[in-house]
Amino acid sequence: MKKLRIGIIGTGGIATLRHIPAFQQLNEQAEVTAVCDVNAEKAKQVQKQFNIQQVYENYKDMLPHVDAVVICTPNKFHAEMTIDALNAGVHVLCEKPMAMNAKECAEMIKAKEKSGKILWIAYHYRFMKETQAAKKVIDEGEIGRPLVVRIKALRRRKVPGWGVFTNKDLQGGGCLIDYGCHMLDLALWLMGNPEVKEVTGTTYDVLSKTLNQVNEWGSFDHEAFNVEDHATAYIRFQNGTSLLFETSWSANIPKDEDTLSISGEKGGLDVFPFSVNYAKHGMLFNSDATYIPEKKEEGFLQAKAFVEACLGLKEPLVKPEEAMQVSHIIDAIYESSEKSKSISL
């Protein structure tokens, strides 16, 4: 079987710490044959570090020589690069979020449909063993129809002080579009991606604009900070389910929180750590999983699933239409905060 030739666009931390090591474990099915970065020196360093054949400064020059690309650039370039790759007949694994906004997502999907190639957005939380366990429990009807979903994706004073995370022009936003998007995607996927009816949201940037603030993840210019560091939302779905959502890079809380809980008609569950609760026999039960089969690291599982989808062996786990729904909600939260009113979808 011919190996899938993979090119990496962007050689920052997400490429070198997750994607390249993951794909290089799949050497029977795939090979990272090229890297590309506008910073030629950085690209050459990564090429040497991982023993990769080719290096490029312009991703368009790379497209004729690969079967698939992994896009690891700032959000501003996701749509353009994805569309160019798909139009060139190349499969795409694009880092999250899908794009700067839902309008760009729609253009990416249009190119995907025209090309017939795979378009996969890197929402790798779906591959965690706890989330896989939760999906199985929900799909088998054990908690019934989800009624209320609660998300907390909160960090205590951890604004990323590297890269371009706080650059609105390049990223489109802050903690919501960077961090909160993962948990939004996860919740929607666990629920079966129901249709959204209305979104009410508020964003904040107060702490990160304060002089001499404490920040564990490096330093940044508080005067130039122009994205949100905290966001809250209330999301109503057409089927009656509601979602309470909060995400932050810089919350004044005792410790970081990554929690997702779902209350259903028959029972409920928490994803992190995984547990199920229900009422039965006139009693209340909390059930912890004493054993969940250990799987490999989620970055590897994502890479493996993407390769198998490109080779026609499996259906993609992450559909681009689902990723676009996340971006629709993010757009609505920003709009709701700006206009101080609820946004109907």
The domain that holds 120 is classified in CATH as: 3.40.50.720
CATH code of 138's domain: 3.30.360.10
What distance in Å separates the CA atoms of residue 81 and residue 232, rounded to the nearest whole number? 31
DSSP 8-class letter at 28: T
- Sorted by sequence, the CB contacts under 8 Å of residue 5 that are 6+ apart come out as 30, 31, 33, 34, 65, 66, 67, 68
- Sorted by sequence, the CB contacts under 8 Å of residue 139 that are 6+ apart come out as none
Domain co-membership, 38 together with 147: no
When divided into structural domains, the chain yields a total of 2
Q: How far is CA 272 from CA 82, 134, 143, 183, 257, in A?
A: 33, 10, 17, 11, 10
- Beta-bridge partner residues of 233: 201, 245
What integer best gives the mean pLDDT of the chain?
Answer: 97
Domain co-membership, 182 together with 289: yes
Domain co-membership, 274 together with 146: yes
Domain that holds residue 148: 126-294+326-344
Edge to edge, the sheet with strand 257-264 lists 283-288, 275-280, 267-270, 257-264, 146-154, 242-248, 230-237, 196-204, 343-344
The count of residues in the chain is 345
DSSP 8-class letter at 224: T
Q: What confidence score (pLDDT) does residue 1 get?
A: 64
Domain co-membership, 162 together with 268: yes
Domain co-membership, 33 together with 145: no
- Sorted by sequence, the CB contacts under 8 Å of residue 205 that are 6+ apart come out as 174, 225, 226, 227, 228, 229, 230
Contact present, 255 and 161 (Cβ < 8 Å): no
Task: Quote the tokens at residue 18.
Answer: 């997750």
What distance in Å separates the CA atoms of residue 15 and residue 20, rounded to the nearest whole number? 6
Contact present, 227 and 174 (Cβ < 8 Å): yes
What distance in Å separates the CA atoms of residue 51 and residue 48, rounded to the nearest whole number? 5
End-to-end CA distance of the chain: 46
Domain co-membership, 83 together with 146: no
Domain co-membership, 36 together with 62: yes
Domain co-membership, 161 together with 213: yes
List the chain residues with pLDDT less than 70.
Answer: 1
What distance in Å separates the CA atoms of residue 341 and residue 237, rounded to the nearest whole number? 17
Domain co-membership, 140 together with 289: yes
Domain co-membership, 120 together with 130: no
Residue 155 sits at φ, ψ, to 5 deg, of -115, 145
What distance in Å separates the CA atoms of residue 156 and residue 249, rounded to the nearest whole number? 7
Domain co-membership, 109 together with 176: no
What distance in Å separates the CA atoms of residue 39 and residue 144, rounded to the nearest whole number? 51
What distance in Å separates the CA atoms of residue 246 and residue 237, rounded to the nearest whole number? 17
- What secondary structure does DSSP assign to 1-26, as a single string? -PPEEEEEE--SHHIIIIIHHHHTT-
- Sorted by sequence, the CB contacts under 8 Å of residue 38 that are 6+ apart come out as 57
Domain co-membership, 10 together with 23: yes
What distance in Å separates the CA atoms of residue 46 and residue 54, rounded to the nearest whole number? 11
